[in-house]
């Protein structure tokens, strides 16, 4: 069994400047009995995402934060993978929004690409959200957990909750987009929540937190 522990008080540094992502991860950490702050709070920069996978980019960001701050750090790399687009935008999901983080434009780019790939007027709207979470220690140790959720895309966008591509993604078994969904419900079923479930198992096995699976989404 891995013997790595969190420091006393269970405080974790979130390696992200994305405020929506920081809020969502923070809400999940509270459910695990942990507290957090972000690299933005400490004035630290995020490294360039140069890896070829979600897991690789999450590990890169978590390690950079852990080494810079001397603290246990948690990084998330996540994105939208669209079947008809060969998995794009994938690890480039944020880049499709440009330097201004214009996800309205990014969602339109995805829709235009889907229409261009339509066969005999039929658009394949299958997609999935993927999340890789990496927990890194200042000594260079890293552990990564991945979750995903399948669904389909809609147009036009619906709802103003969430962030990123949430307003165009409807998870399997649901009628609402992530953008329409109550945040508590989204936190229970999302790709990020599924990755956190795996993280929780790891922490519980090493007696880091005394939480149960029901803590996810509280």
> Which residues are part of the catalytic machinery?
77
Q: Considering only CA atoms, which of 11, 140, 22 is closest in space to residue 78?
A: 22
Helix (H) / strand (E) containing 39: helix 39-42
Most distant CA pair in the chain, distance: 60
| Cβ-contact 15, 62 below 8 angstroms | yes
Q: What is the spatial distance between Cα 162 and Cα 182, in angstroms, rounded to a whole number?
A: 9
Q: Helices (DSSP H) in 70-215: which residue ranges?
A: 103-116, 183-189, 191-205
Tell me what percent of the chain is helix, strand and coil, each rounded to the nearest 5: 40, 20, 40
Residue 152, helix vs strand vs coil:
strand
């Amino acid at each position: 069994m891995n013997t790595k522990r969190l420091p006393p008080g269970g405080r974790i540094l979130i390696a992200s400047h994305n405020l929506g992502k920081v809020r969502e991860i923070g809400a999940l950490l509270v459910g695990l009995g942990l507290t957090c702050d972000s690299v933005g709070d400490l004035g630290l920069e995020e490294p360039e995402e140069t890896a070829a996978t979600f897991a690789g980019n999450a590990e890169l960001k978590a390690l950079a934060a852990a080494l810079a701050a001397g603290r246990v750090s948690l990084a998330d790399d996540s994105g939208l993978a669209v079947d008809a687009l060969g998995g794009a935008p994938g690890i480039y999901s944020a880049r499709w929004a440009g330097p201004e983080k214009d996800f309205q434009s990014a969602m339109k780019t995805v829709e235009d690409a889907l229409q261009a790939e339509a066969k005999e007027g039929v658009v394949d709207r299958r997609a999935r959200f993927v999340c890789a979470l990496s927990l890194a220690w200042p000594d260079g140790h890293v552990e990564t957990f991945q979750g995903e959720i399948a669904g389909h895309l809609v147009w036009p966008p619906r709802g103003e909750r969430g962030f990123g591509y949430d307003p165009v993604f409807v998870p399997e078994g649901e009628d609402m987009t992530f953008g329409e969904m109550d945040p508590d419900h989204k936190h229970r079923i999302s790709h990020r929540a599924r990755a956190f479930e795996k993280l929780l198992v790891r922490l519980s096995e090493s007696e880091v937190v005394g939480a149960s699976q029901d803590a996810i989404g509280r």
